């Protein structure tokens, strides 16, 4: 299967997932991953062990396209499953932030087209049990499908690929006070990293939402509060950072709703997601995003955010 060009219209709050499964001796777990992250699905390949493998779930590596060597991760082993070998095993090859990684699974079912409204947020217990690798839950027919946070898995296996901020961002303060930024992301680990790194500079104060729907409700509340105090929205909030993939409402839909609102449209909106690429950037442009950045490039995001906030104030 090659990567498909889905969702030709932006801001429809839809997604497509590849459903696959991981078997245990007496249980079959169903999982999903966004189609936009999948390069292809192939048969199992012989993997060569690599020296100094950082994580026990890495089985080795195998040659892929253009002579590139790709790491092969046993996804069952990563999730702590005792996965028996089967003749239906498949490898799902993904690309995130330019990094190609292959995941060994017990088998692949099919592709589903869904609305983000149908994706439920995972509870804290499920998050703990999955090592914070699950970002959503979907109920399909007679089974539950867990959406995997592949970015978290890759960063956990190789910490050098996690979000980092290598330099202090410029001064984005407003009248001497830290610029207030609303950050929406369904990943707790990403939220913690972004908040900690951006607030460390003293230029930003980050308030956070766990989904696009949560962020939209917060924005409407802020707008009403500002109007009640005789202020504009930019007097209490200076910018929005949003992920794209989120339960209930995705970041593209959130951005579209902000830019269609007569008051909120003044806020700079930056998309910060692992699925932003040259072939998918048109989606952010279509919904009016002021900037788009690929995780884990927080340094460039912070610099552009400072510029956008200054520009929105006419500086």
Q: What is the pLDDT of residue 141?
A: 84
Is residue 9 in a domain? no
DSSP code per residue over 5-49: ---SSTTS-EEEEEEEEEEETTEEEEEEEEGGGEEEEEE----BP
Is residue 142 in a domain? yes
Is residue 8 in a domain? no
Chain center to CA of 304: 19
Q: What is the pLDDT of residue 315?
A: 52
CATH number of residue 150's parent domain: 2.40.50.180
Decide which of 125, 160, 195 is a domain's last residue: 160
CATH number of residue 191's parent domain: 3.40.50.2300
Is residue 1 in a domain? no
Decide which of 132, 160, 188 is a domain's last residue: 160
| Residue 48 sits in the same domain as residue 101 | yes
Taken in order 197, 203, 205, 206, the sign of the CA dihedral is negative
Is residue 3 in a domain? no
30/20 Cα distance (integer angstroms): 6
261/263 Cα distance (integer angstroms): 6
Per-residue pLDDT of 192-228, as tens digits, reads 888 988 898 788 999 999 999 999 999 999 999 999 9
Distances (CA, A) of 36 to 86, 94, 153: 27, 9, 17
| Residue 102 sits in the same domain as residue 168 | no
| Residue 287 sits in the same domain as residue 273 | yes
Decide which of 160, 181, 211 is a domain's last residue: 160
| Residue 171 sits in the same domain as residue 154 | no
User: Would you call 2 helix, strand, or coil by DSSP?
Assistant: coil
| Residue 42 sits in the same domain as residue 24 | yes
| Residue 266 sits in the same domain as residue 173 | yes
Is residue 131 in a domain? yes
| Residue 21 sits in the same domain as residue 154 | yes
Q: What is the pLDDT of residue 4?
A: 43
Is residue 5 in a domain? no
| Residue 143 sits in the same domain as residue 172 | no
Q: What is the pLDDT of residue 129?
A: 77
| Residue 139 sits in the same domain as residue 248 | no
**How many domains is the chain built from?**
2
Chain center to CA of 275: 7
Nearest CA among 164, 160, 20 for reference residue 93: 20
Q: What is the pLDDT of residue 225?
A: 95
Place of tokens 């500002």: 226
User: Would you call 182 helix, strand, or coil by DSSP?
Assistant: strand
- pLDDT tens, per residue, the chain with 315 residues: 444 444 445 678 888 999 999 999 899 999 999 998 899 999 998 999 877 767 889 999 999 887 788 999 999 999 988 888 888 899 999 988 778 899 999 999 999 999 999 999 888 788 777 777 888 999 988 899 999 988 888 888 887 766 655 544 555 555 567 899 999 998 877 888 889 888 987 889 999 999 999 999 999 999 999 999 999 999 999 999 999 999 899 999 999 999 999 999 999 999 998 887 666 788 899 999 999 988 777 788 888 888 888 877 655
| Residue 111 sits in the same domain as residue 127 | yes
| Residue 167 sits in the same domain as residue 279 | yes
Classify residue 232 by its DSSP letter: -
| Residue 156 sits in the same domain as residue 167 | no
Cβ neighbours, 10 Å, residue 186 = 25
Domain span at 108: 14-160
Is residue 60 in a domain? yes
């Amino acid at each position: 299967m090659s990567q498909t060009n889905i969702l030709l219209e932006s801001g429809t709050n839809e997604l497509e997932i590849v459903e696959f499964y991981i078997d245990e001796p007496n249980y079959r777990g169903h999982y999903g991953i966004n189609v936009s992250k999948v390069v292809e699905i192939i048969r199992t390949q012989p993997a060569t062990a690599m020296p100094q493998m950082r994580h026990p779930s890495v089985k080795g590596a195998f040659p892929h396209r253009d002579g590139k060597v790709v790491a092969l991760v046993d996804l069952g082993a990563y999730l702590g499953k005792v996965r028996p070998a089967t003749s239906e095993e498949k490898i799902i090859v993904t690309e995130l932030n330019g990094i190609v990684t292959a995941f060994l699974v017990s088998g692949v079912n099919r592709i589903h087209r869904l609305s983000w409204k149908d994706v439920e947020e995972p509870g804290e217990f499920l998050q703990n049990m999955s090592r914070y690798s699950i970002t959503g839950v979907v109920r399909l027919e007679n089974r539950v499908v867990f959406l995997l946070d592949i970015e978290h898995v890759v960063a956990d296996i190789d910490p050098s690929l996690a979000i980092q901020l290598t330099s202090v961002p410029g001064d984005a303060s407003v009248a001497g006070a830290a610029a207030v930024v609303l950050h929406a992301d369904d990943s707790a680990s990403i939220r913690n990293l972004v908040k900690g790194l951006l607030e460390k500079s003293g230029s930003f104060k980050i308030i956070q939402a766990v989904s696009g729907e949560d962020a939209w409700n917060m924005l409407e509340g802020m707008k009403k509060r500002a109007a009640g105090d005789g202020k504009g929205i930019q007097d209490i909030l200076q910018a929005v950072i949003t992920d794209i993939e989120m339960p209930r409402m995705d970041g593209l839909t959130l951005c579209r709703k902000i830019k269609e609102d007569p008051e909120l449209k003044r806020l700079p909106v930056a998309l910060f997601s692992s699925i932003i690429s040259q072939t998918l950037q048109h989606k952010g442009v279509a919904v009016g995003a002021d900037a788009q950045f690929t995780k884990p490039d927080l340094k460039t995001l912070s610099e552009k955010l400072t510029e956008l906030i200054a520009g929105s104030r006419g500086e």
